Amino acid sequence: MELKDITYRNSVKKVLRTIRAQSITTQKKISFETKLAPMTVNNIVRELNEQGIIREVSHETNLTNHSSGRKAMWFSINPHFCYAIGVQMKISSMQMILYNLMLEEIEKSTVDIDFYNMPCVEGISKMASSLAEFIEKASIAKGKILGIGIGIPGTVDHNKGLIYEIPKLVNWKDCRLKNKLENELNVHVSIDNDIKTPVMALIWNNKVNGNIAYVHIKECVGAGIALGGKIFRGNKGAAGEIGHITVEPNGKQCNCGNNGCLELYVTDEAILDDIRQNATLPSDKLLFELCDGDLKRLNIYKAIEAVHQNNGTAMRAFENALNYIIIGIDIVCKTYAPNEVIIDNTWLQLIDKYYYHIIENLHKNNKFFRRSDVNYSFCDMENACSAGAAVLILKSLFE
Ligand SMILES: [Zn+2]
């Protein structure tokens, strides 16, 4: 793609960053923001406009520039100049989303791939063929696709594009996914851990800044950390693997080899299993009714409904998990001292009393952070993992 000929220059990236941040802007404003000389900005804007990466737009306050008597020209990023694909790899499926340059979803598809039951080579080949099909269906010229970013459910070397370990997929140890996919697809590929990519998406969309802890507690548990707005990966990309912190030294064995890991007690499935094991008739008639008599059909939303209807077994299961979640978030807060904590969890968002219980306990007898020192929020971004994977690609133009 020809745009690379100019976007490697720092001054060009600066101009692009400013235009993206301001949505629409003028050369005068760009010059003011970037502190680049008006003539330099003029040249860069002309080049970018000629290439099509930015476009001139009409603006209702398109006032006359009184000093020159000419109208100021307004510019914005051309969202359709090029695209990035964001992928979320799961244990038995893969989500692919085509994003434009403004990180808006254009096309989306999820395919079932049983990575668990196939060798790594076969898994990569299925991944490549699904992506090739997706690109073809999206009817976008391959040259317009800047790259493919992938969120991996394991530890990775982001720079080398190497997967160290996927705890639930033993065949993927030390897999050079980036190289292999690039050879098959002839498109630039970048990979990162699937708990780190949502943080990138949130930062990219200006939802958070500063020291950030994104705590994911759903089908798995992990924390994505950003310090000073930059992702903190740590040695072997393993920073934030809080799902495998021991919370019960003599607890159950985890698939990571350790015992009593946090993840075993707080995932949605752990809570549902707790309810299934303890539900009895006639006292839990409600639970059985909610899933037509078969507790295998119990899902997190039905369990939340049972709590709203004051079912004791469901409440006890969630309350058991609460204490472990407090330990997990407390460790993250005291290790990284975030000013923003974003919780990605379904039931804490839907059961207010449990959410407040967590926040109150995190600050009870806490000499280091008052409640007002930390901003808590829920992750409200759809497909944040795939979006952040696309950011891995898009940011090369701007940073
Ligand atoms: Zn573990």
Least confident interval from 52-66, 162-176, 243-257, 362-376: 52-66
Tell me the pLDDT tens digit for each residue of 101-122: 999 999 999 999 999 989 999 9
Opening angle at CA 200, ends 180 and 206, nearest 5: 150
CATH number assigned to the domain with residue range 4-77, chosen from the 4 options 1.20.1290.10, 1.10.287.90, 3.30.1360.20, 1.10.10.10: 1.10.10.10
Neighbouring residues of the ion ligand 1, judged by CB less than 5 Å: 244, 254, 256, 258, 261
Structure confidence at residue 366 (pLDDT): 87
CB 12 within 8 A of CB 46: no
Q: How far is the CA of 242 from the centre of ligand 1 (A)?
A: 9
168 band by pLDDT with thresholds 50, 70 and 90: confident
pLDDT of 4 higher than 60: no
Alpha-carbon distance of 355 to 336, in angstroms, equals 21
Q: How far is the CA of 243 from the centre of ligand 1 (A)?
A: 7
- Helix axis angle for 10-22 and 384-398, nearest 10°, is 130
Alpha-carbon distance of 385 to 202, in angstroms, equals 10
**Mean pLDDT for all residues in the chain:** 92
Q: How far is the CA of 60 from the centre of ligand 1 (A)?
A: 57
Q: Which CATH superfamily is domain 83-203+384-398 in?
A: ATPase, nucleotide binding domain (3.30.420.40)
Q: How far is the CA of 249 from the centre of ligand 1 (A)?
A: 12
Q: How far is the CA of 335 from the centre of ligand 1 (A)?
A: 19
Q: How far is the CA of 135 from the centre of ligand 1 (A)?
A: 36
Tell me the pLDDT tens digit for each residue of 330-350: 999 999 999 999 999 999 999
Q: Which residues contact 71 (CB under 8 A, 6 or more apart)?
A: 62, 63, 64, 65
Q: Write down the domain spans for the chain.
A: 4-77, 83-203+384-398, 210-378
Q: How far is the CA of 36 from the centre of ligand 1 (A)?
A: 51
Alpha-carbon distance of 316 to 274, in angstroms, equals 9
Tell me the pLDDT tens digit for each residue of 180-212: 999 999 999 999 999 999 999 999 988 888 999
Q: How far is the CA of 258 from the centre of ligand 1 (A)?
A: 5
Best CA proximity match to 178, nearest among 113, 235, 126, 128: 128
Q: How far is the CA of 255 from the centre of ligand 1 (A)?
A: 6
Same fold, 83-203+384-398 and 210-378: yes
Q: How far is the CA of 167 from the centre of ligand 1 (A)?
A: 8
Q: Which CATH superfamily is domain 210-378 in?
A: ATPase, nucleotide binding domain (3.30.420.40)
pLDDT of 67 higher than 80: no
Q: How far is the CA of 15 from the centre of ligand 1 (A)?
A: 45
